[in-house]
A and B are shown apart, each in its own frame.
Chain A
């Protein structure tokens, strides 16, 4: 099979993939929904489809950040926003860490606080990178 070069067909192909993706997602939601009805949340989360679904959701939201950065431009400098969000993430991580330390021990608290912090930073770092790119583009004219 040769590579499709016709731009119209490339676009059409992408639209077909989108349709297939929608159907696949509906199928996954259907299967997970059936699991919830049959055996509750635990059974649903034991299903490997759950991780597939979550990973896809995370990737699609990360990719759509690219779009939202253009759609909702901020006047604020990207650095200021980044520092602010890091402060908020740190605060949430410390609060969760302290709360969990009090109920189930310091080690668990530090661990979960650390995990929240580590998981919270990359999306904001990516957002910072995208906003900085846009910012620099604007400076260029």
Chain B
């Protein structure tokens, strides 16, 4: 699933490892989420949102493909 985690993370000046530590997962998981290769649970999504100070919409919303 495509998302805007990477952009948001760079905006608040965090590395993957720092973000990973804040939300309590491994760096590899953050990397896979950014690449869209792993679907995080809603709980983890929220943790990421809090860490980068964005809403769920801004990070994970994608318009339905027609």
Interface residues of A (CB under 8 A from B): 5-9
Contact = CB atoms under 8 A, between A and B. Distances in A.
Give the interface size class of chain B.
10 to 19
B44 A9 contact: no
Contacts, number: 21
Interface of B: 24-26, 28-29, 32, 38, 40-41, 43-44
B26 A7 contact: no
Nearest to B41: A7
Among A5, A7, A8, A9, which residue has the most Cβ atoms of chain B within 10 A? A8
6 contacts: A5-B25, A6-B24, A7-B40, A8-B25, A8-B26, A8-B38
A7 B40 CA distance: 8
Given A6-B29, A7-B25, 16 more contacts: A5-B24, A6-B24, A6-B25, A6-B26, A7-B29, A7-B40, A7-B41, A7-B43, A7-B44, A8-B25, A8-B26, A8-B28, A8-B29, A8-B40, A9-B26, A9-B29
Contacts of B41: 7
A60 B37 CA distance: 31
B35 to A, nearest CB: 13
Contacts of A7: 25, 29, 40-41, 43-44
